Chains A and B, each alone.
Chain A
C-alpha cells in the first residue's frame, strides 16, 4: 500500500506540467518544490535537532548571491553550483559555531543576528551586491545538454532536486546519526551522559541543513534569474520556519505541505484577495488551534481517530518527561 501510494505520488508529481494548465501554474509548482527543499533544510534543525533558526534565509541568500556574482563574472554553471554550495556550507559552519554557543532562545537570537548581518551586506554593500537593485543573471544551466529554459523543463529539474532532498532526508532520519540528532533534541543531558558528542552532532546537523538551504537558494536564483536583499530578509527566514511548523516539525512530508500552503496562498490567493497576508495568518492560527503539531501529524491523528472511532488525544509525548512526578 505504501509503495503504491509512493508510486502514485511520483507519477502525479512527474506529470504536473501536463495536467496543470498554463505556465503560471507550472511555475507555481516549481516554487512549491524549491521552497519545499528550503523548508526540508530548515526542518533538519527545527524539527529533528530541536534548534529553531531564524537566520536560514541568510544561508539561502549566500548561495544565491555567490551564484549570481560568479555567473555575472562569466563562470560556468557547474563551477558556480559547486562554489556556491561550498561557500554556503562554510558559512553554515560559521553560523553553527556562533549559534551553538546558545540553546533555546539564545540560539534563535544569534541566528536572527547572523541572518540580519547577511541581509545588511546584501542591502548596504552596494559594490559587492548591487544593493536594493539586486543582481540579475541571464540563462539557466543545461545539464547533460538539456535546456532548463522552459517552465516545464525547469519544473522537472527542480523535481529531481526535490526528490534527492526528500531521499537524503529519509535516509538521514532512519540512520544512526539521525537517531543521534533526535536524541539531542529530546534529552541532550542524557545523550551527553551516554557518551554522545552533543555539540558535534548539532554542528553536523547544521551543515546538512545549510547545504539544502543552499541548494534551495541556487534553485531560487535560477528560477527568478535574479536575487535581491528581499531573499535574505528576516521575513524569508520566518516564512520558511512557518512552512515547517504549519506542515509539522520533525516529519518528512510536513515541510513539503507547509511550503505548498504558503506558496499557493501567496501566489494564488493574492490574485483574488488583496489582504492575502490576513488569509495566511488566519490559516496559521487555525492550524495552531486545531492541529498544534502541524498539518501532517494532525491529519494523521484525525485519520486514526476516524478509523478507530474514538477520540485520539492531542500529542502529549513531547511533555511526558515533565509529568514524571511520582504518585
Chain B
C-alpha cells in the first residue's frame, strides 16, 4: 500500500528506493508499471500522463522492469526468453504463419543481449537448468532487450553470492546513461555505490529524499531503516 507518494526522477538518474519490509516499495513499482491502479494522483513518463495507460502499453512507451520474485519462462531456453521480450514490441507477435526461428534478425539480437549480460554461452540451455544468479541476469536481459528509457529493478541483488553481486553490479553500472534507473534494494553496501539519490519509503510514504550522504546522516532515515 502507498499513500501520498511524491517521487520525481530526472532523466538518466540512478535512484535508489529503500525502506523496511512492507514500506510499499514494490507496490510503488506496480503503480508505475500499471499492474496496480492508483486511487488518486498521477503518474507521468517524460511529462506525459500515463496514469490511465494500460500496463501492457507502458512497455511500448519505454518502461522496463525486473521482478523481486523471478518471473521468467522456465520451459524455454534463455534465448527464447529474450526473444519473447524482443518480440513483444513488434507487430510480428501476432503472426501465426511464419516460423519464429526463421526471423534470424530477432534471434541474433537476442544473442547480443545475452552476450551483454554475460550469458551468451548458455543461450540454448533451458532456463530450468540454470542457476539462481543466472536467472537474475536473464531478468535484467529481458528488461534491457526492450531498450527501455526507464528501468525499474526490484531487488536485483537478492539472494546472490558475493561474486554474483560484484558481476551484477558491474553489469548495472555499464547500462548507458540514457536509461533512467530506479532500484529497490536492501543490500546497502551494494546499493549505496549505485545511488545518486535515495528515497526512503515508510508505511507507504516517502519520508525523505536526498543524496547518499544526506540519507546516511539523517536521523529519521537511520531510525526507520537501520533501527538506530
Q: Which residues of A contact B (CB under 8 A)?
A: 171-172, 174-180, 182-183, 186-187, 189-198, 208, 316-321, 324-327
A268 to chain B, nearest CB (A): 36
In contact, A186 and B93 (Cβ under 8 angstroms): no
Q: Write out the residue numbers on chain A whose beta carbons fall within 8 Å of the beta carbon of B158.
A: 326
Partner of A192, one of B55, B74, B94, B146: B55
In contact, B128 and A195 (Cβ under 8 angstroms): no
Measured in the bound complex, the distance between the Cα atoms of B94 and A172 in whole Å is 11
- Known A174-B100, A193-B65, A194-B84: A321·B93 in contact at CB below 8 Å: no
In contact, B99 and A175 (Cβ under 8 angstroms): yes
Measured in the bound complex, the distance between the Cα atoms of B74 and A318 in whole Å is 7
B215 to chain A, nearest CB (A): 26
In contact, B56 and A198 (Cβ under 8 angstroms): yes
Partner of B75, one of A186, A192, A198, A208: A186
Q: Which of B84, B99, B159 counts the most chain A CB atoms within 10 A?
A: B84
Task: Show 28 residue pairs from A and B whose CB-CB distance is below 8 angstroms, ordered by the A residue.
Answer: A171-B99, A174-B100, A175-B95, A175-B98, A175-B100, A176-B94, A176-B96, A176-B98, A179-B80, A179-B100, A180-B93, A182-B75, A183-B84, A186-B73, A186-B75, A187-B71, A189-B71, A190-B72, A193-B33, A193-B59, A194-B84, A195-B59, A195-B88, A196-B56, A317-B75, A320-B127, A321-B74, A326-B159
Partner of B93, one of A192, A196, A319: A196
- Known A194-B88, A317-B74, A320-B128: A171·B97 in contact at CB below 8 Å: yes
In the complex, the chain B residue whose C-beta lies closest to that of A177 is B96
Does residue B222 face the partner (Cβ distance < 8 Å to A)? no
| A contact face: mostly helix, strand, loop, or mixed | helix
Q: Which residues of B contact A (CB under 8 A)?
A: 33, 35, 55-60, 65, 67, 69-76, 80, 83-85, 87-89, 92-101, 103, 126-128, 132, 135, 142, 146, 158-160
B38 to chain A, nearest CB (A): 17
Measured in the bound complex, the distance between the Cα atoms of B98 and A171 in whole Å is 7
Measured in the bound complex, the distance between the Cα atoms of B35 and A164 in whole Å is 40
In contact, A316 and B159 (Cβ under 8 angstroms): no
Q: Write out the residue numbers on chain A whose beta carbons fall within 8 Å of the beta carbon of B95.
A: 175-177
Q: Write out the residue numbers on chain B whose beta carbons fall within 8 Å of the beta carbon of A174.
A: 99-101
In contact, A324 and B69 (Cβ under 8 angstroms): yes
In contact, B146 and A194 (Cβ under 8 angstroms): yes
In contact, B126 and A317 (Cβ under 8 angstroms): yes
In contact, A327 and B159 (Cβ under 8 angstroms): yes
In the complex, the chain A residue whose C-beta lies closest to that of B91 is A176
Q: Write out the residue numbers on chain B whose beta carbons fall within 8 Å of the beta carbon of A208.
A: 96
In the complex, the chain A residue whose C-beta lies closest to that of B69 is A324
Q: Write out the residue numbers on chain B whose beta carbons fall within 8 Å of the beta carbon of A189.
A: 35, 71
In contact, B72 and A321 (Cβ under 8 angstroms): yes
In contact, B70 and A324 (Cβ under 8 angstroms): yes
Q: Write out the residue numbers on chain A whose beta carbons fall within 8 Å of the beta carbon of B83.
A: 179
Measured in the bound complex, the distance between the Cα atoms of B58 and A195 in whole Å is 7
Measured in the bound complex, the distance between the Cα atoms of B96 and A174 in whole Å is 8
In the complex, the chain A residue whose C-beta lies closest to that of B74 is A320
Measured in the bound complex, the distance between the Cα atoms of B15 and A221 in whole Å is 65
In contact, B93 and A193 (Cβ under 8 angstroms): no
In contact, B96 and A195 (Cβ under 8 angstroms): no
Partner of B72, one of A180, A187, A195: A187
Q: Which of B73, B87, B135 counts the most chain A CB atoms within 10 A?
A: B73
Q: Write out the residue numbers on chain A whose beta carbons fall within 8 Å of the beta carbon of B73.
A: 183, 186-187, 190
Measured in the bound complex, the distance between the Cα atoms of B40 and A189 in whole Å is 24
